[in-house]
Amino acid sequence: MDNAVERAIECIWERYSEPLSLADIARSAGLSRFYFARLFRDATGITPGRFLAAIRIHQAKCLLLDTSMRITDISFAVGYNSLGSFTNYFTTSVGVSPGRFRRLSRTGEIGLPDPEPRPPTGAGAIAGTVGLPEGCGNARVYVGAFGTPIVQHPSVAAAIVDVPSGRPCCYRLLDVPAGTWFVHAVGVAEGVEPWARRTRLTGGHDPVPVTSDSVTSAAVRLRRGRPADPPVLLALPDLEPRPALAGDAGCPVITPRPAAGRHRAVRATPGTPRSMAAAAPARPPA
């Protein structure tokens, strides 16, 4: 990653509570606004403004989980000057309001987010494998299809996949509306050794086209987080890795059902997990 982008990301993390402008962030990188905006987008996949907004919502999620601060105070602490604007953007990005996110997180009741309502016809599917980086044990992974480069509400299809250490595992997203979608994956992996800490992982695939009554292939390779990764905003259930996994013998066969415009998977997906907290991105060192 370019050093100028690294400096800009450090600036955003350090000053997200301030009324930062594009000129302010570009100045921290020592570049002109227009050249910096293009460079930043090439490195992160999103604009500096969207990266800043994602960090603000991520930090708000952390404050909701870890403090008893009032929601109004949290909105000001993360850089908003309007409670209404903060609440609307938080709800749109996370999938639940700030107050509901706090309540559900504390009671462990956050479940798998509902996907966006599907059209009655014109749906396809996305299928492929999820692989883990070396040095990771079993992992539980959320895989979803999204309209943006950020893992934020809503997804159009999603699944929870249990991935064994050392070998890829198959996933399938059914009833995906026709269009072009980002495939994002977020997971938590056990350490290989009993004393090793769990590792948060992220990954994805470049935008893939989906057409009616067809299956699009998209392999996903998870990796450890990087400073250039936007935070995960969507409220997700706890991704608690299972201690023992045998792994699938092969990928499921997905066949269209033309009459209904839907798809069928031969093998069932492992069960949905219990609830979860927020996922923290890798951030630059202080």
All domains of the chain, ordered by start, with CATH? 3-107 (1.10.10.60), 123-265 (2.60.40)
Banded model confidence at residue 2, pLDDT cuts 50, 70, 90: confident
Check residue 248 and report its DSSP letter.
-
10 Å Cβ neighbour count for 227? 17
Residue 113's pLDDT is 82
Q: Which of 155, 184, 176, 178 is nearest to 279 (CA)?
A: 184
Residue 110's pLDDT is 86
pTM for this entry: 0.84
Torsions phi, psi of 26, nearest 5?
-65, -35
Instruction: Supply 286's token pair.
Output: 């202080």
Residue 261's pLDDT is 35
Instruction: Supply 114's token pair.
Output: 């509902």
**Each residue of 164-184: pLDDT tens digit?**
998 999 999 999 999 999 999
pLDDT at 267 over 50: no
**How far apart, in whole angstroms, are the C-alpha atoms of residue 143 and residue 134?**
20
Q: Please, what's the b/e burial string for 253-270 (b: 16 or more CB within 10 A of its CB; e: otherwise)?
A: ebebeeeebbbebeeeee
**Each residue of 212-252: pLDDT tens digit?**
999 999 999 999 999 899 999 999 988 989 876 655 545 65
